[in-house]
Amino acid sequence: MTPAQDRRHISALIDEATAAGARPTAACAALGLSLRTLQRWRDPAGGGREDPRPCAECPAPPNRLTEAERDRIVDTCNSPPFASLPPSQIVPKLADEGVYIASESSMYRVLRERGQNHRRGRARRPGRSRPPASFQAKGPCQVWSWDITWLPGPIAGMFFYLYLIVDIFSRKIVGWEVHERETAEFAARVLERAVRAERCLTSPPVLHADNGSPMKGATMKVTMERLGVIASFSRPRVSNDNPFSEALFRTCKYTPRWPTRGFATIDEARAWVMDFVRWYNTGHRHSAIRFVTPDQRHRGEEHALLAERHRVYQLARAAHPERWSGQTRNWQPIGSVWLNPERPDAGRKGHGAADALPHQAGGGGPMAGPAEQAA
């Protein structure tokens, strides 16, 4: 409702406009009013009176708590037996004692009015979890991810420990060892050997890991500082922050050559892992890097390989254009790779993702079947 003072001011402006020759309808339209509204405002029967609703005296509802009852609620909630309890606990405890003061919602409302609607006792508001560290790898030996997984031993409950470091840009396994224990000393040794083998002492990578004790041990920290490696850690109890290592472990344990009955000795486990690493780096065509091997991408050979694949598809399309309803399969290199990117857009979902678009299968062609989903 427009206040009476504003009505009188608007009416005076319209009178001034009409005195200057303007039509009342046009003057009202310029102010966003209709002529009928102006006539209603000028009605002597009450059009210019003040709105009485803000000043109206409303009777108190019959169920309203008195000040004495409100004070009793506050005194009860602050008394020693209930000082650390919320109203949801106070109300049933009072009911067990045969006492009813007010409902739970009334207690919350009164405490909020008195500025006491906060966490009671030693409880504190849970803090927001920090976002995971985000890193971009534009080439090999820039961002590494590592973790430890169990390898089954000869008997139930006995395990060997596989230490494994993977380059997130090329997916190449750059360091690994198998031991009988899980220690920071072994982890530091694997890291130092990987850095020296990849010859990145002058430009050490970022090393991402979870929050296990070997990852944060004193020996591991000293080694990383000495080598200049930048440490990055996942959030506690969030496995998705270390997706590259987790995905690699799944590929390792779901390969058809995986020994379902375990390894008889640690030497047998080391020999098996050596063969797996050789196959993974040089023979496994990885779906996340356009189905080239990690070793090929690590050495920069993917551009020539993918260009040749594109040429083959273009020749196949030229030979039988009627079999292709759209573009040929996308064989462009994927570009840089992100670890836990900050932007959750279509190309970077939640954790590690590449800058490139998803695989594009050629439409309708004989070689344009569904995109492979293998790891």
**Segment 78-95, tens digit of pLDDT:** 999 898 888 999 999 999
- pLDDT for 63 equals 85
For residue 153, is it within any domain?
yes
Same domain, 224 and 192: yes
Phi and psi (nearest 5°) for 167?
A: -85, 120
For residue 317, is it within any domain?
no
User: What is the pLDDT confidence band of residue 48, given thresholds at 50, 70 and 90?
Assistant: low
For residue 171, is it within any domain?
yes
Same domain, 146 and 259: yes
DSSP 288: G
Same domain, 212 and 271: yes
For residue 275, is it within any domain?
yes
Side chain identity at residue 128, one-letter code: R
- pLDDT for 317 equals 92
Q: Residue 30's CB: how many other CB atoms inside 10 A?
A: 12
Instruction: Please give the mean pLDDT across all residues of the chain.
Output: 85
- pLDDT for 352 equals 45
Same domain, 88 and 36: no
Residue 366 has pLDDT above 90, yes or no: no
- pLDDT for 74 equals 93
Give the total number of structural domains in the chain.
3
Same domain, 106 and 172: no
Report pLDDT digits (tens) over 152-205: 999 988 999 999 999 999 999 999 999 999 999 999 999 999 999 999 989 999
For residue 176, is it within any domain?
yes
User: What is the pLDDT confidence band of residue 367, given thresholds at 50, 70 and 90?
Assistant: very low
Phi and psi (nearest 5°) for 32?
A: 75, 25
Report pLDDT digits (tens) over 306-332: 999 999 999 999 999 998 888 899 999
**374 vs 6: which has the higher pLDDT:** 6
- pLDDT for 275 equals 97
| Mean pLDDT on 97-108 | 92
Same domain, 100 and 152: no
| Mean pLDDT on 53-62 | 78
Give the CATH number for residue 229.
Answer: 3.30.420.10
Which range among 46-55, 200-209, 260-269, 343-352 shows the weakest confidence by mean pLDDT? 343-352
Long-range contact pairs involving 154-162 (C-beta distance under 8 Å, separation at least 24): 154/262, 154/263, 154/264, 154/265, 155/262, 160/263, 160/266, 160/269, 161/186, 162/252, 162/269, 162/273
Beta bridge partners, 176, equal 164
Domain end (from 253, 284, 315): 284
Domain end (from 267, 284, 301): 284
Same domain, 83 and 166: no
For residue 307, is it within any domain?
no
User: From residue 234, how far is each of 169, 299, 327, 352, 363 by CA, in Å?
Assistant: 18, 29, 40, 13, 40
Q: How far apart are CA 146 and CA 346, in angstroms?
A: 26
Among 327, 288, 335, 285, smallest CA distance to 310 is for 327
Q: pTM of the entire structure? A: 0.61
Same domain, 140 and 200: yes
User: To the nearest whole percent, how much of the chain has pLDDT over 90?
Assistant: 57
Q: How far apart are CA 247 and CA 240, in angstroms?
A: 10
For residue 332, is it within any domain?
no
- pLDDT for 343 equals 54
**52 vs 195: which has the higher pLDDT:** 195
User: What is the pLDDT confidence band of residue 282, given thresholds at 50, 70 and 90?
Assistant: very high
- pLDDT for 58 equals 81
Residue 265 has pLDDT above 70, yes or no: yes
Contact predicate 9/48, CB 8 Å? no
Same domain, 239 and 108: no
User: What is the pLDDT confidence band of residue 130, given thresholds at 50, 70 and 90?
Assistant: low
**83 vs 342: which has the higher pLDDT:** 83
| Mean pLDDT on 133-141 | 89
Please name the residue ranges forming H helices in 198-321.
213-216, 218-227, 243-253, 266-282, 294-298, 302-319
Same domain, 280 and 199: yes
- pLDDT for 116 equals 86
Its domain, for residue 229, covers 135-284
- pLDDT for 171 equals 96
**121 vs 115: which has the higher pLDDT:** 115
Same domain, 108 and 199: no
For residue 102, is it within any domain?
yes
Same domain, 280 and 140: yes
- pLDDT for 129 equals 62
